[in-house]
Amino acid sequence: MTVLALDLATCTGWACDGPPDARGNPRPFGGSFELRGSAYGDRYVDLRDRLVDMIAVHRPDVGVFEAPLPFAGGSNFAGASATSQTVRLLLGLAAVAEETLTRAGLAVYEVNVQQVRKHFCGDPRAKKDDVMRVCRTLGWNASDNNAADAMAAWDMARAALKLGGAPRPILAGVGR
């Protein structure tokens, strides 16, 4: 089974199954892209078009995306708040991703960023830099923090679906 994972935002990270490492362990490859346009509709259409292309090329069986962060009032993140425009954009991106992945016949899962970071870094409060550091430790080529977040979600999805994942290095102090 092939997994496509997404970190949805104006700069969207993505990761998919790549060639295995020398020991046969699965490895992700991916990157990130800036959504084109300034209007909501333009960005939603751009995301849908890119996902349709990714699905055609990589032929995933599973699609995973990070749930939009909880905003002011329900957040575990200090100072987490967003404008109504940011909330609308992120919720819209999640809806477009879920609809597009579902329409393509993929099994679709929404994952919580804190659970992903606990799985990947050992700490639900880990930061983006911590996720990038773990990717480097594993020898994964994450082009930026958005791609690294997608790779972390990819790894969690593979583990949850019992598809095998990267062996966990000893990560003293990561995310703390």
Domain contains 42 = yes
- 145: nearest Cα among 132, 154, 135, 134: 132
Domain contains 84 = yes
Entry pTM: 0.86
pLDDT tens string 63-99: 999 998 765 444 444 444 567 888 889 999 999 999 9
Domain contains 41 = yes
- Six token digits for residue 112: 């919580």
User: Around Cβ 67, how many Cβ atoms within 10 Å?
Assistant: 17
Give, for 90, the enclosing helix (H) or strand (E). Answer: helix 84-103
Which domain range does residue 138 map to? 3-160
When pLDDT is averaged across residues 18-36 and rounded to a whole number, the result is: 90
Dihedral pair phi/psi, residue 31, rounded to 5°: 180, -155
Q: Judge whether residue 61 has pLDDT over 60.
A: yes
Domain contains 176 = no
> What is the domain-level CATH number for residue 151?
3.30.420.10
* Predicted pLDDT of residue 169: 47
Domain contains 173 = no
Q: Which residue has the higher pLDDT, 20 or 136?
A: 136
pLDDT tens string 114-171: 999 999 999 999 999 999 999 999 999 999 999 999 999 999 999 998 886 555 543 4
* Predicted pLDDT of residue 127: 94
Q: How many domains, in total, are found in the chain?
A: 1
User: Around Cβ 4, how many Cβ atoms within 10 Å?
Assistant: 30
> Are 136 and 86 in contact, with CB atoms under 8 Å apart?
no
* Predicted pLDDT of residue 165: 59
Domain contains 169 = no
What is the band of 9 on the pLDDT scale with cuts at 50, 70, 90? very high
User: Around Cβ 81, how many Cβ atoms within 10 Å?
Assistant: 11
